[in-house]
Structure 1
Amino acid sequence: MVLARALLVVVALLAQPLGSRSGDAGAGDLHPVVLVPGYGSNQLEAMMTAAYEPPAPACAGAADHRWFPLWPNHAAMRDASQVPCFADQMSLVYDAGADDYRDADGVATRTPFFGSARALIGWDRLVPRLEGMGYRDGETLYAAPYDFRYAVAPPGHPSAVGDRYFRDLGRLIQASRLNQGRPAIVVAHSFGCALTYQLLLSRPLAWRRRYVKRVVLLGPALGGFAAGMYALSAGMDYGLPNVTRPTMLRLARSQQSALWRLPTPLVFGDRPLAVTRTATYSARNMSGFLEAIGFAEGVRPYLTRVLPMWEALPAPMVPVTSVIGFGVRTPETYVFGTDGLEGEAEVLYGDGDGDINMVSLAAVERWSEVEGQVFKVVRLPGVHHDGFFSTDFAVKSIIAEISEAGESLEHIGVVSCQQKCSD
């Protein structure tokens, strides 16, 4: 019943024209909360069509044409024979002629439960706390899952999946029309922060101020991170057993979102990120790095579809709280030996949250200097990038920020959870 109600709300939001409202029943005094998950917290389902040519007979779902879980993929985690199937079905295709990304031939995908907190993976400690405050799934509490393999593109470049998600996310944020016109509190994590930020920039200022009460960014990586380079060099195994290097590279490099992880020149400047015996690569020569790792086909989409979106970090001009972890060893520079970029690397560490470098986490703090931009940062000592929903005092801190967002926030400041969240 909860899921059905959430889906009905989403349908109503998508159908209503801008600016309309429907009653205030059940809204209480709460501002609606919209949860935008990070990369791995989204579910993804797939179905094989008649055009699909499986790479192996064992490929699940290739014959019955039914929807099945693509991510998380427990079948591939239990059975190594399913790994080639997973890689084949999970990989995207960049169509250079169309200048856009799409699923592989014969593969259809979808993100289930849009609008409902049931869609989220790993948020099961935060959601019950919100429900204990009076929030109700599909009434005042919504989730906006997405296909994490995709991203969006700058003006002039098509992005069918990304544009559709922005349309749906924007409509979901307008849930204030079902809650006495109250603007929404948007809580985003990790890659969801980048998507939320770009959505805000794509909307008129009047829209942002009308529909957004505050944005709470958890572990924002708006400048990329060093480990994003290593993933393109070494590949990704998604925690699956016995994944070959070519398969890991395909999984990493075929996804549009992989290029969004790369450190940006604006934030990282000339810092050495990948070092070989003959070359040093920084965010300023990322094209050279992509060519050196044998991913020359990634240069064009990086230069035309990714870099233009991160050449500046203008303030979104809605109240923002940035919640970050710090004091966790975080990969900062990869030093490669005799095998070059194809070999193992010695990792040099710096400060951050274990995944995201501190220079990227702190990039949004420049907004505190922008006139009219309300900004606050909460720093959580020792909290890993994946620990916002599993560390008790981090969950308490998030709840506190959501509670505070229902009130006016007129100050700019830095809060250490050592003082605020230890009780």
Structure 2
Amino acid sequence: MGYHDGDNMHGVPYDFRYAAPIPGQASQVYSRHFKEFMELVEAASRKHRKKAIILGHSLGGMVVLEFVRSTPLAWRNRYIEHLFLVAPTLAPGFMGPVKNLASGPNDILCVPDATDLSLRPMWRSFEASIANFPSPGVFGHEPIVITNQRNYSAYDLEDLLAAVGFGDGIEPFRRRMVARMSYFEAPMVPLTCINGVGNRTPRQLVYWDGNFDEPAQLVYGDRDGAVNLISMLAFNEEMRRQPGQRGQFKSIKVENASHRGILTDEWALKRVMQEILEANRDSS
């Protein structure tokens, strides 16, 4: 396909323990990371005499979106050809972070023989553990966590943090995460979002006896098995609503592609590559 690692294709590792800041928030980790990211884009653009195509998957989608937003608009116009967000975790949030915080991370930290519950204290020490909670403006008052004593909606997240035994997370959640839940500033570059649909995706967590040390019973909705459909639709609506982004935004749904499989299953990856190659041809 013409891509060669280290030549015209580069990886940009990031520290997933930290949540990428929205503009106006300080972050020593991401200030350094975004500076190096800019330098890489500039060097690659100069070398190949064309703008860069940037792609991020899952949490990486959130990182690259915030990177682009953090740059001056004139810089974006000069160096960015297209931004691809594949199964991204974005401002509207999703249920996975709630489950991970309450009962321990599942399929995130690869520690042999460790249980989700044994990893919970370490997970809660990461800033990212309180990022991407369901946004009240999107999830509304419908219960997202159900117990026999009380139901919790996206409006009750601070109470939920206390209930699961993580009161220490309330202040940083209020200080750094609440603002990002309603932050939908368009990146103002050509943007394509590619998401899987048609998979059972947790929509509600049931801890009937209120014991958050036990695995939750799951009530399912639709999407890619991780990020909820309502989140994708809310982000798409916001991008189409903003005049500067509306004419350079595309949303693609890949039936039966899972959150990870969209980049690992050959048939789904071909669909993603089709869009990238099309953007690359347009820039030639």
TM-score normalised to structure 1 length: 0.62
- Counterpart of 1:399 in structure 2 is 273
- Counterpart of 1:235 in structure 2 is 104
Which amino acid is 1:209 matched to?
A: N
- Counterpart of 1:370 in structure 2 is 242
Larger helix proportion, structure 1 or 2? 2
Distance 1:138 1:202 in 2: 25
Q: 1:300 aligns with which of 159, 163, 171?
A: 171
Q: 2:123 aligns with which of 252, 256, 264?
A: 252
- Counterpart of 2:57 in structure 1 is 189
CA change 1:407–1:241 in 2 (3 A) is closer
Distance 2:158 2:23 in 1: 21
Q: Secondary structure at the match of 2:131?
A: helix
- Counterpart of 1:356 in structure 2 is 227
Q: Secondary structure at the match of 1:217?
A: strand
Distance 1:192 1:363 in 2: 19
Q: Secondary structure at the match of 2:67?
A: helix
List per-residue Cα deviations over 1:220-262 (Å, max 9, x = no partner): 2212211210100001263545435663211221111121231
Which amino acid is 2:97 matched to?
A: G
Which amino acid is 2:275 matched to?
A: E
Distance 2:116 2:65 in 1: 34
Contact 1:225 1:262 in 2 (8 A): yes
CA change 1:159–1:274 in 2 (3 A) is same
Asked if 1:225 corresponds to 2:94, the answer is yes
Q: Secondary structure at the match of 1:388?
A: helix
Which amino acid is 1:189 matched to?
A: H
Contact 1:290 1:299 in 2 (8 A): yes
- Counterpart of 2:66 in structure 1 is 198
Contact 1:234 1:248 in 2 (8 A): no
Q: Secondary structure at the match of 2:199?
A: coil
- Counterpart of 1:381 in structure 2 is 255
- Computing the radius of gyration from Cα coordinates, the structure with the larger value is 1
Distance 1:221 1:153 in 2: 14
List per-residue Cα deviations over 1:140-161 (Å, max 9, x = no partner): 1111011211223356654221
Distance 2:163 2:251 in 1: 38
Q: Secondary structure at the match of 1:378?
A: strand
More relative contact order, 1 or 2 (CA 8 Å, 6+ apart): 2
Which amino acid is 1:329 matched to?
A: R
- Counterpart of 1:147 in structure 2 is 15
Asked if 1:159 corresponds to 2:27, the answer is yes
CA change 1:310–1:210 in 2 (3 A) is farther
CA change 1:376–1:244 in 2 (3 A) is closer
Q: Secondary structure at the match of 1:342?
A: coil
Contact 1:276 1:341 in 2 (8 A): no
Distance 2:143 2:270 in 1: 37
Contact 1:266 1:312 in 2 (8 A): no
List per-residue Cα deviations over 1:365-422 (Å, max 9, x = no partner): 121232232111111111110102222221111111111112449xxxxxxxxxxxxx
Tell me how far 1:270 sits from its aligned partner. 2.2
Distance 1:146 1:336 in 2: 34
CA change 1:318–1:156 in 2 (3 A) is closer
- Counterpart of 2:188 in structure 1 is 317
Give the unaligned 5+ runs of structure 2.
Answer: none
RMSD across aligned positions (CA): 2.0
Tell me how far 1:302 sits from its aligned partner. 1.0
Q: Secondary structure at the match of 1:134?
A: coil
Distance 2:180 2:46 in 1: 30
Q: Secondary structure at the match of 1:200?
A: helix
Provide the identity percentage: 35
In the TM superposition, 1:27-176 aligns within 5 A as 133-154=1-22, 158-174=26-42, 175-176=44-45
Contact 1:227 1:332 in 2 (8 A): no
List per-residue Cα deviations over 1:146-198 (Å, max 9, x = no partner): 12112233566542212211111222222212221x11100110001111111
Distance 1:195 1:164 in 2: 13
Which amino acid is 1:231 matched to?
A: N
Asked if 1:288 corresponds to 2:135, the answer is no
Q: 1:209 aligns with which of 65, 68, 77?
A: 77
- Counterpart of 1:344 in structure 2 is 215
Distance 1:242 1:360 in 2: 33
